[in-house]
Amino acid sequence: MKDSFGREIDYLRLSLTERCSLRCVYCRSDEDLCPKAKELNAEELILLAQACVELGIKRIRLTGGEPLLRKDLMQIVSGIAALPGLRDLSVTTNAQMLAGMAADLKTAGMMRLNISMDTLKPDLFEKLTAGSLQKVFDGIHAALEVGFDPIKINVVLMRGVNDNEVDDFIALTAKHKIDVRFIEYMPIGCGNGSNNLRVNNQELIAQRPWLRQLPPRLHSQPSSDYTYDGALGRVGFISPISHHFCADCNRIRIMSDGSLRTCLGRPQEVSLRESLALGKEAVKQQISQEILAKPARHGFNQEVLEKRNMSRIGG
């Protein structure tokens, strides 16, 4: 499935909910969130995933909000994991509930985990998220025990807040078989006015000449990956502002209310609900049309996106 610029669209980020157990300072406010009653049900989410896979989607990431809050999560995971043609199924989680769910996720068919963790300092973690850093570590250990590989830790760097922890995070990849990825702060929702907080990933790489670049694990992945002597995992840099990867973009996003967004860095989105009511073929037709209208690149250098914060878009 190609867009009008010849890019192969084979990756879907599917948001299960806007609800979250944390209140990360850059991610969300408590206003105008999609209520639980407007979330798509498990059958609708699986049908959307099936339609996308039949159109050529090969990788699906479940996002939120916090996807582990869904009571029907295992039904969703097992239904999507069973789709013929799907090669990769992963989830992004804050890991507050992961310790008690890692084994069930693995059994249901989840293949990989991305864990959001922006600091290694318990007090700062609580200040930034209102959550427990210990629960994150408990979740990571549980995931390692049941065999998730790789486990990726996502770190949103903020100047003067957690940018002094870069080397501490990199050191984690020498202790465990996990990847750490540093993500540039983006001007979305609560991230507006982010220029003062943004840390340029290219500067971080230049300051560490001992990092050696690796070939990507996956086609069109947003992360530039590195290794160093003694590393068990990878060090990745996701740089949508300083080194945008729009020319290789291979993804679309569907939000928990059924809205389709073909570009994270543009405000345009359309509802798939009417198509859902008509059935899978109608969904496929609408998604195909929207992919042809996918823009050439994001607009982060031109505008801020105030309509939805990151928790509403699905990350």
Among residues of the chain, what percentage have pLDDT more than 70? 87
Buried b (16+ CB within 10 A) or exposed e, 19-50: bbbbebbbbbeeeebbeeeebbebebbbbbbb
Using one digit for the tens of pLDDT, what is the confidence trace for 152-161? 999 999 999 9
Looking at residue 58, its pLDDT comes to 97
Q: Is it the case that residue 35 has pLDDT exceeding 90?
A: no
User: How do beta strands 11-15 and 178-183 pair?
Assistant: unpaired
d(CA 167, CA 165): 6
This model's pTM is above 0.85 = yes
Q: Any idea what DSSP says for residue 35?
A: P
Structure tokens at 296: 């050439």
Q: Any idea what DSSP says for residue 33?
A: P
Using one digit for the tens of pLDDT, what is the confidence trace for 48-102? 999 999 999 999 999 999 999 999 999 999 999 999 999 999 999 999 999 999 9
Task: Report the chain's C-alpha Rg in angstroms.
Answer: 18
Using one digit for the tens of pLDDT, what is the confidence trace for 195-209? 788 899 999 999 999
> Using a CB cutoff of 8 Å and minimum separation of 24, what contacts does 40-45 make?
40/256, 40/257, 40/258, 40/276, 41/72, 42/72, 42/75, 42/76, 42/79, 44/258, 44/276, 45/14, 45/16, 45/76, 45/79, 45/80
For the chain, what is the mean pLDDT? 89
Using one digit for the tens of pLDDT, what is the confidence trace for 116-152? 999 999 999 999 999 999 999 999 999 999 999 989 9
- Comparing 21-30, 168-177, 302-311, the range with the smallest average pLDDT is 302-311
Using one digit for the tens of pLDDT, what is the confidence trace for 236-285? 999 877 666 687 889 999 999 999 999 887 878 999 999 999 999 999 99
The domains found in the chain, sorted by start residue, are 11-313 (3.20.20.70)
